[in-house]
Amino acid sequence: DAGVTQSPTHLIKTRGQQVTLRCSPISGHKSVSWYQQVLGQGPQFIFQYYEKEERGRGNFPDRFSARQFPNYSSELNVNALLLGDSALYLCASSARQIGSSYNSPLHFGNGTRLTVT
């Protein structure tokens, strides 16, 4: 079975532009979470989508948005890019919705490396 796939793998944008990142979860997984990882730091939570609805949002500005499609794939959009948005963006899928009693692994894709110049 294919794992979590993300595209593109690398992206270079200039300040003020907009970017769309894509993620396909493991077959049968209905939850997709997005994380931002700045070099040397742990992944920071951006969004969780489950059954095509937003179930959680991290402390990120409204420039960040996402959606989940009927096939459970997901897109992360970032508008008006800033230099500080340069990071590795990770998508993770899980079979169940993540909550305080969550006890299953998260399966990560290899990420999209975004560089804003």
Partner 1 sequence: QQPVQSPQAVILREGEDAVINCSSSKALYSVHWYRQKHGEAPVFLMILLKGGEQKGHEKISASFNEKKQQSSLYLTASQLSYSGTYFCGTAATDKLIFGTGTRLQVFP
User: Measured between alpha carbons, how far is 9 from 40 in angstroms, rounded to an integer?
Assistant: 19
Taking Cα atoms as reference points, which of 32, 26, 63 lies closest to residue 47?
A: 32
C-beta closer to partner 1: residue 69 or 102: 102
Interface with partner 1, residue 11, by CB under 8 A: no
CB-based contact 106:94 (threshold 8 Å): yes
Count of residues touching partner 1 (by CB under 8 A): 28
Hey, which residues between 49 and 108 contact partner 1 (CB under 8 A)? Answer: 55-58, 90, 98-108
Interface with partner 1, residue 10, by CB under 8 A: no
User: Measured between alpha carbons, how far is 74 from 67 in angstroms, rounded to an integer?
Assistant: 6
User: Measured between alpha carbons, how far is 71 from 111 in angstroms, rounded to an integer?
Assistant: 20
C-beta closer to partner 1: residue 41 or 70: 41
C-beta closer to partner 1: residue 36 or 72: 36
Report the nearest approach of partner 1 to the CB of residue 15 (Å): 25
CB-based contact 5:27 (threshold 8 Å): no
**Where along the sequence are the contacts to partner 1 (CB under 8 A)?**
33, 35, 40-45, 48, 55-58, 90, 98-111
